[in-house]
Amino acid sequence: MKMHFKCRGGKYPGSEVERAAVPDDKVPWSVMWPEYAPPVYSSPVLAGKPWADPELSEAGFSPRWNQLEGGVDRRSRQPEGYSLDAAGAPLNPVGRTGLRGRGLLGRWGPNHAADPLVTRWRRGADGGRWLHPASGRPQLQLVTIQRRDCGQWALPGGMVDAGERVSAAVQREFREEALNALEASPERRRELERQVAAVFAAGKPVYQGYVDDPRNTDNAWMETEAFNFHDETGEAVGAFPLQAGDDAGAVRWTDVSAETELYASHAAMVRAVAQMHGAHW
């Protein structure tokens, strides 16, 4: 990703802090801008959380930037990695966001997520693949959730826990957000695990790297690994008992097209999946 939009301008999510305005041409760090003095904000919710880093100034905190440090992956999925500013804080690999600090993100530098793109074909009344009149191509349907934090529709993804495998995180987040597994009985939860694992066994990588997330700052940002789990017949995913849970307020199948508006840069990942399948966009 070369440019970001969703993490610039306006109030930082969940706060009254106004980002400094950053024009497009001043986004890259390579463009000199000595007057740039954005506000500094790290949410108070981060203090003492086991999933969050301490302040950079805290005694004994000496992170190994751009490296895998025990369970904490401080490597970027962006091929160029990231550099540090004069104060030793990681620098957003895309550029300026109008805010320093970590905002709501727990880690300095990359914060790793996993995103599932679960798809099937839209079907016509005869049960066959429905063809979109505008393109003559079949249309995909995708499982999306409505985020509780901002009300926007999004992929049912989430953070990879320290030490967790991405392949496990992508299944867990789907179970939690799209199947409400956290509120299921232990027995039912095991059943959901089996059901999801069967479909997710054949995933195809779609994207890895920076996400244009509204929570990004100059020193902390979201990255993801996104996978497509496509069900050609639609039977297996059709049997998913969709029910929103955890940080999702609603869940639905969304028809995929260029009009699909989604949180952060999720629509770009959906477009890549539509292209992979030769589907309508």
Stretch that binds ligand RP5, among 48-56, 85-93, 122-130, 152-160 (CB under 6 A): 152-160
Residue 26 CA from chain centroid, whole number: 25
**φ and ψ at 49, to 5 degrees?**
-75, 135
| Count of residues touching Mg ion (by CB under 5 A) | 4
Nearest of 145, 95, 179, 174 to residue 254 by alpha carbon: 145
Q: Is 7 in the site for ligand RP5 (CB under 6 A)?
A: no
Tell me the two tokens of residue 72. Answer: 């904490």
Q: Is 213 in the site for ligand RP5 (CB under 6 A)?
A: yes
Position among 38, 158, 203, 214 found at the interface with Mg ion (CB under 5 A): 158
Report in angstroms how near the CB of residue 179 gets to ligand RP5 at its nearest: 15
Stretch that binds Mg ion, among 50-58, 90-98, 103-111, 166-174 (CB under 5 A): 166-174
Report in angstroms how near the CB of residue 249 gets to Mg ion at its nearest: 11
First to last CA, the chain: 21
Which residues, 6+ apart, have CB-to-CB distance to 266 below 8 Å? 115, 154, 155
| C-beta closer to Mg ion: residue 173 or 218 | 173
Nearest of 170, 157, 159, 174 to residue 72 by alpha carbon: 159
Q: Is 90 in the site for Mg ion (CB under 5 A)?
A: no
> Contact 75/110 with Cβ under 8 angstroms?
yes
3-state helix, strand, coil in the chain (%, to 5): 20, 25, 55
Report in angstroms how near the CB of residue 177 gets to ligand RP5 at its nearest: 8
- Considering CB distances under 5 to 8 angstroms, the limit depending on partner class, which of ligand RP5, Mg ion, none binds residue 180? none
Query: What residues from 105 to 144 belong to the interface with ligand RP5 (CB under 6 A)?
Result: 113, 115
DSSP per residue, 101-112: EEET-SSSEEEE
Chain residues in the site for Mg ion (CB under 5 A): 158, 173, 246-247
Chain residues in the site for ligand RP5 (CB under 6 A): 113, 115, 154-155, 157-159, 211, 213, 222, 224, 247, 264
